[in-house]
Amino acid sequence: MANNIDTAIKVKAVALDFDGVITNLDIDWNAAIRQASSIVGHDIKSLITFYENNFGTPIFQKVSTEMEKIELDALRKAQASPFIGEFLQKLSEKQVEVYIVSMQSFNVIKKFLEQHGLTGYFKGIIAREKCPSKKAQVECISKETRSSLNQILLVDDSKRNISNCKELGLVCFYFQRKQSSKETREAWNKILNLLGAT
Ligand SMILES: [Mg+2]
C-alpha cells in the first residue's frame, strides 16, 4: 500500500496503533479466538468484530478480561519498535499531540509504556474499553483535541483500518508490521517529514 500523502496538510494530532507499530506482540490469535469462542459459546470469526458488536455488555467484559491475560503474557517478550524513542521525542518537540489507538486493553498498553519509559510522550491511550473500533477511537481524538478528522494522522499496520479511516478523511500512513530496523527508521522519518518535524 503506497503512502501518497498530500504534504500540505496541517496535522494537529498523531494517532499511533499499538500492536504492529509501537511493538509487535507475539500472540497466537487463532488460539485466542478459540478461547474467546468457548467463553461465548459459539464461534467468533474476529475479535475486532466481536468487541464492536458487544461493546458495553457483560460478555464483552468477560472476553476482554481473558484476552488481557494473553496480552499481558505477551508483554514479557515485547520489544519497543526500533528508534521509537527518538521519533516520539521529535514529535514532542514539534508539540504535536500523540495518542495510542488500539484494540488491546488499556492496562496492557499502560504497562508496556511504563516498562519502556515511554509514558510521558502520550497525551492519551484510547483502548477497547473506551471505544470499540478504530473509527470510534479517532473520532474520540477529534473531539478531545478539537481537531477535524483531516487534521489527524493515523499510523497503522492494518490495511482495513487505513482504508476505513481514509474514508473518514484522516491522513493515513500505512506502517509495515514486519520490517528491518533500517526500514522502520525510514518510516519514522517519512512521518516526521510530512509533519515538517525533521
Ligand atoms: Mg495493529
Question: b/e per residue, 130-141, with b = 16+ CB within 10 A?
Answer: ebbbbbebbbbb
Ligand 1 mean position to 156 CA, how many Å? Answer: 6
DSSP string, 79-122: PBPTTHHHHHHHHHHTT-EEEEE-SS-HHHHHHHHHHTT-GGG-
Give the per-residue pLDDT at 5.
Answer: 59
Q: Which three cell numbers stand for residue 154?
A: 493515523
Ligand 1 mean position to 87 CA, how many Å? Answer: 18
Q: Hey, what's the torsion of the CAs at 65, 68, 72, 75, to 10 degrees?
A: -170
Identify the band that residue 166 occupies on the pLDDT scale cut at 50, 70 and 90. very high
Ligand 1 mean position to 38 CA, how many Å? Answer: 24
Give the per-residue pLDDT at 195.
Answer: 87
Ligand 1 mean position to 133 CA, how many Å? Answer: 12
Average confidence score pLDDT of the chain: 93
Ligand 1 mean position to 16 CA, how many Å? Answer: 9
Q: What letter represents residue 59's amino acid?
A: I
Report the candidate in 11, 1, 2 with the shortest Cα–Cα distance to residue 171. Answer: 11
Model confidence at 194: pLDDT above 90: no
Give the per-residue pLDDT at 10.
Answer: 84
The class that CATH gives domain 13-24+80-194 is: alpha beta
Ligand 1 mean position to 15 CA, how many Å? Answer: 12
Model confidence at 110: pLDDT above 70: yes
Domain boundaries, the chain: 13-24+80-194, 29-75
Give the per-residue pLDDT at 62.
Answer: 98
Ligand 1 mean position to 17 CA, how many Å? Answer: 6
Q: Which three cell numbers stand for residue 2?
A: 503506497
Identify the band that residue 8 occupies on the pLDDT scale cut at 50, 70 and 90. low
Measured CA to CA, the distance from residue 93 to residue 110 in angstroms comes to 22
Bridge-based pairing state of the strands 152-156 and 171-174: parallel
Ligand 1 mean position to 129 CA, how many Å? Answer: 17
Average pLDDT over residues 6-13: 73
For ligand 1, a single-atom ion, the residues with CB < 5 A are: 17, 19-20, 157
pTM, 2 dp: 0.93
Ligand 1 mean position to 102 CA, how many Å? Answer: 7
Report the candidate in 137, 153, 143, 139 with the shortest Cα–Cα distance to residue 91. Answer: 153
Residues in the chain: 198
Ligand 1 mean position to 78 CA, how many Å? Answer: 14
Edge-to-edge strand order for the sheet containing 124-126? 124-126, 97-101, 13-16, 152-156, 171-174
Model confidence at 107: pLDDT above 70: yes
Please answer whether residues 26 and 77 qualify as being in contact, where contact means their C-beta atoms are separated by less than 8 angstroms: yes
Identify the band that residue 95 occupies on the pLDDT scale cut at 50, 70 and 90. confident
